[in-house]
């Protein structure tokens, strides 16, 4: 089936002042699907629920009683990875990696995380520890690494399917015993892989999705690195970490108090702001080459046409 993308209204609050779950939308966490302004149709990044106008939705959009239907999950495959892989580092995000780390490191990160490209924007593929492709999130960045507001699209094959998401980068721990380091942003995970390659850096893609997605990591050593103000406030990563026996870093809280990062910054902002030499250091993880060689699915090569 031909791939399609759900697109959302840029001004989220103007499109809908509240989320269908009842929460105020001043923070813009409810994204209204284009063409449905003023209607409760879209995705809420706070309550992590989909509200679609199709039979697969689990939410009653009319407000009345409605029988829940069986979920039809979206399915992806390695052909989707291969068809979108950013061989030539042409997405805005890939250009930022090249500008920040150099082409060699940017290429290594693109291969490691299977970064894709769709109409010039990066595709952050979510691949689980069993190498099943769960989701592709498409985000627009400029070459300076700045995310363009309200530009997150969903790479879906069927408008009537539900996503079954996992951590971005979850597949990295399939063949090694490195601890998992969990952050919110896929951008941060990719950059931190360069800064501290002693971890498998993974991302939730939303602070509110931590608990749902972290269950797949139970049994492994896990360290959570919450953004500033997420440690024991907002999404309260400390409580979730304690619940599952994970370590929780307070680095961002301490750095903010010391004036080393700004409000709501994360761990990579600290390195970008204070350690430019670290970000420019041309470090290659020799174990990655062995990992690729042992996993033919990851051994992508450029077309020779």
Last residue of one domain, picked from the residues 29, 46, 70:
70
CA–CA separation, 86 and 13 (whole Å): 33
- pLDDT tens profile 184-230: 999 999 999 999 999 999 999 999 999 999 999 999 999 999 999 99
Strands 147-156 and 4-6: antiparallel
pLDDT at 1: 35
> Do 232 and 193 lie in a common domain?
yes
Residue 171 located in a structural domain = yes
- pLDDT tens profile 108-140: 999 999 999 998 999 999 999 999 999 999 999
pLDDT at 66: 40
* Cβ-contact 224, 201 below 8 angstroms: no
Range of the domain at 140: 78-284
Q: Flag whether pLDDT at 4 surpasses 60.
A: no
Domain tally, the chain: 2
Residue 276 located in a structural domain = yes
> Do 25 and 113 lie in a common domain?
no
Residue 295 located in a structural domain = no
What is the distance between the terminal CA atoms of the chain, rounded to a whole angstrom? 26
Highest mean pLDDT among 14-28, 58-72, 98-112: 98-112
> Do 219 and 171 lie in a common domain?
yes
DSSP H or E run through 15: helix 12-15
> Do 92 and 3 lie in a common domain?
no
pLDDT at 278: 67
> Do 102 and 18 lie in a common domain?
no
Q: What is the mean pLDDT of the chain?
A: 83
Mean local confidence (pLDDT), 157-167: 76
Residue 127 located in a structural domain = yes
Last residue of one domain, picked from the residues 47, 70, 93:
70
> Do 119 and 212 lie in a common domain?
yes
Q: Choose the weakest-confidence range: 17-21, 173-177, 180-184, 299-303.
A: 299-303
> Do 114 and 236 lie in a common domain?
yes
Alpha helices in 50-201 (DSSP H): 78-84, 92-101, 103-113, 186-195
Q: Flag whether pLDDT at 251 surpasses 70.
A: yes
- pLDDT tens profile 230-243: 999 999 999 999 99
CA–CA separation, 42 and 252 (whole Å): 32
CA–CA separation, 29 and 49 (whole Å): 11
> Do 26 and 173 lie in a common domain?
no
* Cβ-contact 156, 8 below 8 angstroms: no
pLDDT band for 100, please (50, 70, 90 cuts). Answer: very high
Residue 296 located in a structural domain = no
Which segments of 142-280 are extended strands (E)?
147-156, 180-183, 200-203, 222-224, 247-248
CA–CA separation, 270 and 229 (whole Å): 15
Residue 293 located in a structural domain = no
Strands 247-248 and 222-224: parallel
> Do 256 and 111 lie in a common domain?
yes
């Amino acid at each position: 089936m031909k791939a399609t993308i759900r697109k959302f209204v840029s001004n989220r609050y103007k499109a809908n002042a509240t989320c269908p779950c009842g929460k105020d939308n001043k923070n813009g966490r409810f994204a209204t699907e284009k063409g449905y302004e003023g209607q409760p149709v879209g995705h809420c990044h706070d309550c992590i629920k989909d509200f679609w106008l199709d039979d697969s939705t689990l939410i009653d959009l009319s407000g009345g009683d409605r029988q829940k239907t069986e979920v039809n999950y979206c399915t992806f495959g390695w052909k989707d990875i291969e068809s979108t892989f950013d061989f030539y580092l042409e997405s805005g995000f890939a250009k930022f990696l090249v500008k920040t780390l150099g082409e060699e490191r940017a290429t290594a990160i693109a291969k490691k995380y299977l970064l894709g490209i769709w109409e010039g924007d990066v595709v952050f593929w979510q691949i689980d520890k069993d190498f099943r492709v769960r989701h592709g999130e498409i985000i627009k960045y400029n070459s300076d690494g700045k995310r363009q507001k309200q530009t997150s699209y969903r790479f879906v094959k069927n408008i009537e399917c539900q996503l079954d998401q996992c951590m971005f980068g979850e597949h990295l721990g399939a063949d090694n015993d490195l601890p998992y380091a969990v952050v919110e942003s896929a951008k941060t995970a990719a950059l931190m892989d360069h800064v501290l390659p002693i971890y498998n850096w993974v991302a939730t893609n939303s602070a509110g999705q931590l608990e749902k997605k972290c269950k797949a990591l139970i049994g492994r050593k896990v360290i959570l690195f919450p953004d500033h103000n997420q440690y024991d406030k907002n999404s309260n990563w400390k409580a979730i970490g304690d619940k599952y026996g994970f370590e929780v870093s307070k680095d961002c809280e301490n750095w903010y108090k010391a004036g080393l990062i700004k409000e709501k910054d994360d761990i990579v902002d600290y390195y970008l702001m204070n350690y430019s030499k670290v970000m420019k250091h041309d470090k290659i993880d020799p174990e990655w080459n062995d990992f690729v060689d042992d996993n033919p699915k990851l051994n992508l090569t450029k077309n020779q046409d």
